[in-house]
């Protein structure tokens, strides 16, 4: 302990740092602060202020004297303290009150050297520059009153840029030279930031002055050149004169020409400082970029058009016929010197509805190529905003025309082929209903006067060939569906898939795998094997994916040297390349026991096979249904059970078998929602099979609605269900009698391979579906 050691009350500071020479006012908000102030008042008015940062006390504090002790205007007690000098905090000692008393050793500073004085002058100069940059000239002038280097260094306590931790570091740096170097480095950084900020501000002001000066000079130059008659060339881009020249050179409709001239006149009256001038220019540019009067010349050669369609797609004959009909009409009008049909009712709007992967979207591009027209695709899946179709009002910032107007600009003609992709997946919310906006677009009686909200001029869409695509038509609003000519694409037969794979998929995937036809060959048997055992779909998307996987494996073997070209893949080799089959014909296994029948259904991905299981158990009489069935399908199950019970004797079933029995009907794949009446005959067959102990023939698939009187009513989706049965390996199809005419839609190749039974009553269905009683008993 030195002779200068003294004992003082300690006041911890958690949100401030007091340096020597600083006068500081603090509120006595805690009992600890009040006790320290009271103890200091009783012991000569001195105390030690020590910062407490992150749970620790600084090793150096400031001995301060209380200048004034009283109350703030708001009422709380406060005191004004003046920092006298640094002191190292020692050990705590007992006191006679609640304050914390500690021993402190005042820090004795060495006389300043010449180097220290130089640092002090430099630091003071940097502080003056910072204050002058901030406009604090009076405070900068007062810095000359501080002469001692130690006091100059401690002026950092007033700096708002320094954090609490930095100020504690200044307090704990006892050596004056080290302290000056520390605060000088921080001050230089602050001055650099202030200088950069001033430069940016000055550059902005200079830029504004330059812009104003350039504006005046340009107006003067324009006036001079106008007098000299030199307003020519590209220099007047965006001027009213240039817009008038463009309008004069274009064949614009009269209404469009009048609207453009009105906007040009408005542009002349609008000052360049007015932001509306930019909006007018944008509108004029947008309108004049549209291909007014520009049309592609249709290829009227039907033979060539048919060749192009057949080259791009196998099958899909109904769509191809419709396109050729369109061309034939245009060709006859041309032969007879008649103008092409335009205006009200002349537009062609087709809707291709079918499962994924059947080529709906790519067919649109093929149609455009066959007609010799430009092609544009609009993806509408997930679109919720009506403005996507009609455009935004010009009053909105960033407004632009709708997708249809932009599509015409992209195509460069007024008669392109526009594919509206995934029209069944349009959304609707508070922003509007895009499907309602499409009502005008897809109505041949209205679309020759379509008005975009942004353009506010009439667009003739009657020359556009619209092709909408959808997976299902259930989600398309009725009024919109009514405006389109619907063509169903129900999927491909196995022979059609083989042709598509041979002519399109295999060459494309071979090219992607960097293989040639001489290096790898797939036999027809191999292609059939891939289609049957590794895919089960209405389209060919997964088939192409599996072919790509097989060819990549071939490329890997050839590159590694494990195989040499040519590689021939036979049907028996497919498993070695693609692994175990993903699908197999399970109808025989599933229907081997009584109570299981094979039904047919239509989903968003095409037709599918549906197994229905029935069982009976002891318990309260009734019916349990599982498999996530919809209300209509549940009602079909109730009707089936009611029919079987009411006609038990006729069906050869002992009525006593229903007593005390609870029946359970289950449709597997419980995670998939199912609904519709077409499973009625399948449920009836499953229940009769269970109660008569006669298994259902494994090759039979059935569909149809059943009534309480046992009549079989017609259903929809016959072609899709027939193709699904064919894919699943079923060879006997039971359909309602009134669906007989629908069989004409089923490809002849499928009909020839299947036995068809047209049922009028449930007895007809059971006669075709159930095995003989002797065979079942065996």
Could you tell me the two tokens for 614? 């029935």
Helix (H) or strand (E) holding 376: strand 375-379
> CA nearest 124: which of 98, 93, 165, 156?
156
115: closest CA among 183, 180, 169?
180
* Residue 10: DSSP 8-state: E
Q: CB neighbours of 750 closer than 8 A, spacing ≥ 6?
A: 493, 722, 723, 726
- Residue 160, Cβ neighbours under 10 Å: how many? 5
Q: How far apart are alpha carbons 735 and 717 in whole angstroms?
A: 11
Ramachandran quadrant class, 619 (left: phi over 0; alpha: psi -120 to 50; beta: rest): left
Pair type for strands 348-353 and 465-470: parallel
Q: Is 98 a catalytic residue?
A: no
* Helix count and strand count (H, E) for the chain: 28, 25
Report the alpha-carbon distance of residue 153 to residue 28 in Å, rounded. Answer: 29
Check: CB of residue 383 under 8 Å from CB of residue 398: no
Q: Residue 232 pairs with which residues in a beta bridge?
A: none
Compute the distance between CA of residue 110 and CA of residue 151 in angstroms, rounded to an integer. 13
| Contact by Cβ (8 Å): 606, 537 | yes
Long-range Cβ pairs for the range 579-583 (8 Å, 24+) = 581/533, 581/534, 582/533, 582/534, 582/535, 582/536, 583/532, 583/533, 583/534, 583/535, 583/536
Kind of pairing between the strands at 6-13 and 46-53 = parallel
Instruction: List the catalytic residue out of 678, 689, 695, 719.
Output: 678
The residues facing 568 across adjacent strands are: 521
Which residues, listed in sequence order, are joined to residue 6 by a DSSP beta bridge? Answer: 104
* Alpha-carbon gap, residue 663 to 103, rounded angstroms: 94
Do 583 and 533 touch, CB atoms closer than 8 A?
yes
> Which residue, chain included where needed, has tokens 């009283």?
70
Classify residue 708 by its DSSP letter.
T
Q: 362 to each of 356, 358, 420, 656, how far by Cα in Å?
A: 12, 9, 12, 61
Tokens of 121: 């002058």
Note if the bond before 566 is cis, omega within 30 degrees. Answer: yes
The stretches of 446-513 forming alpha helices (DSSP H) are 478-482, 494-500, 506-512
Quick check: helix, strand or coil at residue 179? helix
Give burial (CB, 10 Å; 0-12/13-18/19+) of 247. Answer: middle
Let me know: does 22 contact 154? Beta carbons within 8 Å: yes
- Beta strands 661-666 and 100-106 are unpaired
Q: Give the Cα separation of 46 and 23 in Å (integer).
A: 14
Q: Which of 525, 513, 517 is nearest to 550 (CA)?
A: 513
Element (H, E) at 8: strand 6-13
Cα 662 to chain centroid, rounded = 49
Q: Which residues contact 91 (CB under 8 A, 6 or more apart)?
A: 102, 103
Q: Would the CA dihedral through 122, 126, 131, 133 be positive or negative?
A: positive
The β-bridge partners of 349 are 466
Active site residue 721: yes
Point out which residues pair with 624 in neighbouring strands.
664
Q: Which residues are catalytic?
A: 678, 721
């Amino acid at each position: 302990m030195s002779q200068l050691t003294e004992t003082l009350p300690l006041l911890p500071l958690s949100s401030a740092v007091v340096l020597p020479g600083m006068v500081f006012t603090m509120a006595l908000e805690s009992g600890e602060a009040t006790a320290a102030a009271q103890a200091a008042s009783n012991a000569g008015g001195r105390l030690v202020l020590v910062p407490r940062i992150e749970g620790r006390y600084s090793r150096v504090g400031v001995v301060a004297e209380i200048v004034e002790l009283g109350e703030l205007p708001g009422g709380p007690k406060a005191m004004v303290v003046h920092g006298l000098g640094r002191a190292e905090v020692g050990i705590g000692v007992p006191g006679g009150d609640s304050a914390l008393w500690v021993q402190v050793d005042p820090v004795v500073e060495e006389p300043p050297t010449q180097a220290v004085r130089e640092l002090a002058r430099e630091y003071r100069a940097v502080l003056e520059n910072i204050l002058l940059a901030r406009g604090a000239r009076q405070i900068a002038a007062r810095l000359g009153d501080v002469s001692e280097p130690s006091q100059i260094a401690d002026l950092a306590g007033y700096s708002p840029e320094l954090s609490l931790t930095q100020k504690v570091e200044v307090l704990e740096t006892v050596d004056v030279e080290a302290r000056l170097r520390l605060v000088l480095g921080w001050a230089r950084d602050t001055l650099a930031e202030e200088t950069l900020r001033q430069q940016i501000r000055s550059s902005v002001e200079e830029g504004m002055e330059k812009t104003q000066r350039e504006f005046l000079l340009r107006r003067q130059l324009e006036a001079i050149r106008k007098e000299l008659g030199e307003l020519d060339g590209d220099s007047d881009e965006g001027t009213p004169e240039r817009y008038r020249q463009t309008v004069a050179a274009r064949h614009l409709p009269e209404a469009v020409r009048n609207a453009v001239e009105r906007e040009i006149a408005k542009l002349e009256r609008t000052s360049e400082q007015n932001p509306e001038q930019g909006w007018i220019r944008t509108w004029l540019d947008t309108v004049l970029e549209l291909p007014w009067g520009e049309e592609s010349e249709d290829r009227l050669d039907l033979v060539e058009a048919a060749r192009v369609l057949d080259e791009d797609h196998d099958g899909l004959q109904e769509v191809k016929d419709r396109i050729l009909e369109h061309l034939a009409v245009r060709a006859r009008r041309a032969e007879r010197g008649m103008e092409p049909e335009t205006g009200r009712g002349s537009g062609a709007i087709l809707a291709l509805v079918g499962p994924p992967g059947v080529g709906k979207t790519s067919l649109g591009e093929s149609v455009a190529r066959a007609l010799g027209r430009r092609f544009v695709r609009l993806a509408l899946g997930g679109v919720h905003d009506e403005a996507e179709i009609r455009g935004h009002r010009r009053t909105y910032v960033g407004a632009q025309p709708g997708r249809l107007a932009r599509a015409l600009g992209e195509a460069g003609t007024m008669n392109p082929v526009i594919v509206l992709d995934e029209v069944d997946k349009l959304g609707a919310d508070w922003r509007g209903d895009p499907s309602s906006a499409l009502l005008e677009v897809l109505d041949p009686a209205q679309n020759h006067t379509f008005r975009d909200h942004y353009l506010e001029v009439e667009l003739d869409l009657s020359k556009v060939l619209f092709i909408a695509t959808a997976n299902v038509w259930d989600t398309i609003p009725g009024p919109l569906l009514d405006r389109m000519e619907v063509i169903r694409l129900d999927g491909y037969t196995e022979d059609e898939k083989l042709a598509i794979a041979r002519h399109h998929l295999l060459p494309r995937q071979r090219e992607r795998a960097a293989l040639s036809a001489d290096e790898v060959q797939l036999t027809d048997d191999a292609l059939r094997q891939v289609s049957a055992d590794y895919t089960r779909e209405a389209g060919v998307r997964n088939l192409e994916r599996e072919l790509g996987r097989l060819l990549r494996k071939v490329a890997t073997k050839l590159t590694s040297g494990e195989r040499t070209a040519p590689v021939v893949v036979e049907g028996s080799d497919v498993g070695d390349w693609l692994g175990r089959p993903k699908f197999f014909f399970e109808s025989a296994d599933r229907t081997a026991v009584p109570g299981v029948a094979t039904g047919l259904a239509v989903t968003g991905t095409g037709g599918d096979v549906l197994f229905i299981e029935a069982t009976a158990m002891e318990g309260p009489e009734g019916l349990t249904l599982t498999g996530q069935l919809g209300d209509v399908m549940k009602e079909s199950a109730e009707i089936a059970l009611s029919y079987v019970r009411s006609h038990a004797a006729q069906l050869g079933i002992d009525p006593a078998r229903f007593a005390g029995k609870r029946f359970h009907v289950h449709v597997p794949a419980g995670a998939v929602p199912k609904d519709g009446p077409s499973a009625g005959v399948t449920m009836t067959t499953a229940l009769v099979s269970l109660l008569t102990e006669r298994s259902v023939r494994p090759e039979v698939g059935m569909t149809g609605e059943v009534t309480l009187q046992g009549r079989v009513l017609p259903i929809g989706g016959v072609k899709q269900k027939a193709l699904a049965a064919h894919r699943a390996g079923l060879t006997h199809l039971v359909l309602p009698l009134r669906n007989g005419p629908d069989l004409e839609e089923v490809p002849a190749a499928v009909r020839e391979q299947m036995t068809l039974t047209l049922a009028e009553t449930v007895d007809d269905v059971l006669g075709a579906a159930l095995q003989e009683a002797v065979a079942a008993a065996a």
